[in-house]
Amino acid sequence: MKFDLAGRRKIFSHGMTVLSGLAIVVIMVPLVAVVYEVFLLGAPVINGAFFTQQIPYPCTPEPGITCHQGGVLVPLEGSLVLIGLSSLLAVPIGIGAAIFAVEYGGERRSARLIGMVADVLSGVPSIVAGAFALSLFIIYDPTQAFSYLDASIALAVLMVPIVTRTCEEALRTVPHSVREAALALGISRWKMTVRITFVSALPGVITGILLAIARSAGEAAPLLLTLGQGCAHPLQGITAEGCALPLWIFYGATNPYQNWYNLAWGCALLLLGLILILSVLSRFTLDWMARRMRGE
């Protein structure tokens, strides 16, 4: 009987190994299916015109009707404007707060408070960030409630905690001996922080910025509330209504026009590529940082 029991335990153990292997197959199926579908439907749309032309008139091909395919120049420009504006808002704030926490806060409670606030902020749902930015503008200036500026504020809310957290961690990896050596040479404190500490931590800071951009570039929910409807016109300035890649995917998905739908898949592929490149780049800078820290 003892032998039997051991045999059953072994068989059960093997069974569980197989099950856990199956789990990884099962989770890869939908994930691979998403990427496959995006490539399958997005790749045929991507050509020169895709990057240079305006959004076309809505159209579905029927016998006798051929549709103008057009391009996503405006959503693409819009996304770049949003990335630039939101980074401009979020990066200085995030870096400043992180430097304050690490360089001037030390181990005190105020230093940990900033980390905690950043952690809590990172849990804010993106739609709530959108509602927040919208209400700010409703209170402040309703005529600009739908604009690149408004949308950038919503995205910046999502970016600040990521930049703060990664920047804080990067600064903490800089050894105290480096700071002490600089101060001993008589450099002023702020120059030491900017030229020595911050530069040493730069790869980590860049990682944080890239991660924050990757997160916000794909967000559609806050744009739905704050960006308005500016896809049909060329870019008119940051206080005008606008368009962006994720937002165009939403329009293409919810409108019944074939050419808009096709462009939406092209946008999905473009966005996927952009975000994968940003993620890989951020991993690369992180490895760079790790190598530098080991002194290689």
Partner 1 sequence: MTPGNPFPTSHPERIHRAPKVGDITFLILLLLATIAVVALMVALVVVLLYQSRLAITTLGFSYLTGRVWGPETNVYGILPALIGTLITSAIALLIAIPLGLGAAIFLTQHAPTWLRAPVGQLIELLAAIPSIIYGFWGLIVLVPLERTVVEPKLITYLGWTGLFNSTPIGLDILTASLVLSVMAIPTVTAVSRDSLAAVPRSQKEAAIAIGATDWEVTRRAVIPYARSGIIAGSVLGLGRALGETMAVLLVIGNRPIIPSSLLSSGTTIAALIANELTEAFQPLEAPALFEAGLILLSIALAINVGARLILSRLQAGQGAAAE
Region 181-240 residues binding partner 1, contact defined as CB under 8 A? 183, 188-191, 193-194, 214-215, 217-221, 224-225
Closer residue to partner 1 in complex, CB, 57/113: 113
| Of the candidate residues 206, 249, 263, 286, the single one contacting partner 1 (CB under 8 A) | 249
Closer residue to partner 1 in complex, CB, 60/188: 188
Q: How far is the CB of 51 from partner 1 (least distance, A)?
A: 19
Q: What secondary structure does DSSP assign to the chain, as a single string?
A: -HHHHHHHHHHHHHHHHHHHHHHHHHHHHHHHHHHHHHHHHHGGG-SHHHHHSPPPPP---BTTB-------HHHHHHHHHHHHHHHHHHHHHHHHHHHIIIIITTTSHHHHHHHHHHHHHTTS-HHHHHHHHHHHHHHH-GGGSSSHHHHHHHHHHHHHHHHHHHHHHHHHTS-HHHHHHHHHTT--HHHIIIIIIHHHTHHHHHHHHHHHHHHHHT--HHHHHHS-S-SSSPP--TTS----HHHHHHHHHHS--HHHHHHHHHHHHHHHHHHHHHHHHHHHHHHHHHHHHTT-
Nearest to 248 by CA among 50, 11, 24, 101: 50
Write out the binding residues for partner 1, residues 103-122 only, by CB under 8 A: 103-104, 106-107, 113-114, 116-122
Closer residue to partner 1 in complex, CB, 81/225: 225
Q: How far is the CB of 125 from partner 1 (least distance, A)?
A: 3
Give the span between the Cα atoms of 172 and 152, in whole angstroms: 29
Q: Phi-psi category of 53—alpha, beta or left, where left has phi over 0 and alpha has psi -120 to 50?
A: beta
| Of the candidate residues 46, 202, 235, 272, the single one contacting partner 1 (CB under 8 A) | 272
Per the CB < 8 A criterion, the answer to whether 276 and 250 are in contact is no
By CB under 8 A, the count of residues binding partner 1 is 98
Q: How far is the CB of 147 from partner 1 (least distance, A)?
A: 13
Give the span between the Cα atoms of 25 and 19, in whole angstroms: 10
Q: Phi-psi category of 235—alpha, beta or left, where left has phi over 0 and alpha has psi -120 to 50?
A: beta
12 near partner 1, judged by CB under 8 A:
yes
293 near partner 1, judged by CB under 8 A:
no
Q: How far is the CB of 182 from partner 1 (least distance, A)?
A: 12
Q: How far is the CB of 228 from partner 1 (least distance, A)?
A: 8
100 near partner 1, judged by CB under 8 A:
yes
| Of the candidate residues 88, 178, 181, 280, the single one contacting partner 1 (CB under 8 A) | 280
Closer residue to partner 1 in complex, CB, 191/291: 191
Write out the binding residues for partner 1, residues 26-55 only, by CB under 8 A: 26-27, 30-31, 33-35, 37-38
Q: How far is the CB of 64 from partner 1 (least distance, A)?
A: 27
Closer residue to partner 1 in complex, CB, 81/102: 102
Write out the binding residues for partner 1, residues 138-167 only, by CB under 8 A: 138-139, 157, 160, 164
| Of the candidate residues 95, 196, 201, 209, the single one contacting partner 1 (CB under 8 A) | 95
Q: How far is the CB of 109 from partner 1 (least distance, A)?
A: 13
Q: How far is the CB of 59 from partner 1 (least distance, A)?
A: 19
